[in-house]
Amino acid sequence: MLDYILYKKTPPGRVRFQAESDVDCELLGVSSFELGVFEVKGKGAQPASGASLLLPIKGSKQMSLILPVMSVEPLITPLGAWSARCKGPNQAQFDVRSADIVCDECSTHYEMEFVVVGDVQLAAIEAMNHQGWQASLEQQICPNCNNKG
């Protein structure tokens, strides 16, 4: 699941190209007709096959969904619209949670979002490690302190 999450905000109603952060388009809609495959409709610059799209995750303030593009087709209307078939996680809805975390070494407080798949504690620990923390159920070391050692 974490392969499809980027801890960077994408504005609501927009879709961005991951390799070119300055290129974004209007997001017309997202649907999932089968697990792991999403249809993204947008208006503006058309992505190429092999590119990755960044989409906002409903309910998230900090995360974006990364969807690699498998194929793209232009749409007749509206003018400049396209439909991209993308590979994604094997779920259509995301349980976004947030946690207040304190580094055990420097005592700095962090607010972190994560997507729950299964156990909430394990999902939080996995998300923390994905963001550079050294985290376990017993101890959490922030990226700043983790990089000092």
Alpha-carbon gap, residue 8 to 35, rounded angstroms: 24
Quick check: 50 and 71 in contact, CB under 8 A? no
Q: Say whether both 33 and 105 belong to one domain.
A: no
CB atoms within 10 A of CB 146: 15
Quick check: 50 and 68 in contact, CB under 8 A? yes
pLDDT at 15 over 70: yes
Structural domain that includes position 105: 95-148
What's the pLDDT tens digit per position in 36-64? 999 999 999 999 999 999 999 988 989 99
Q: What is the rounded average pLDDT for all residues in the chain?
A: 91
Average pLDDT over residues 128-132: 92
Question: Total domain count for the chain?
Answer: 2
Q: What DSSP character marks residue 68? A: E
pLDDT at 149 over 90: no
Domain boundary among 87, 115, 137: 87
Q: Say whether both 104 and 70 belong to one domain.
A: no
Tokens, residue 69: 């593009």
Q: Say whether both 18 and 52 belong to one domain.
A: yes
Kindly give, in sequence order, each residue whose CB lies less than 8 Å from that of residue 2, ignoring residues fewer than 6 positions away.
Answer: 126, 127, 130
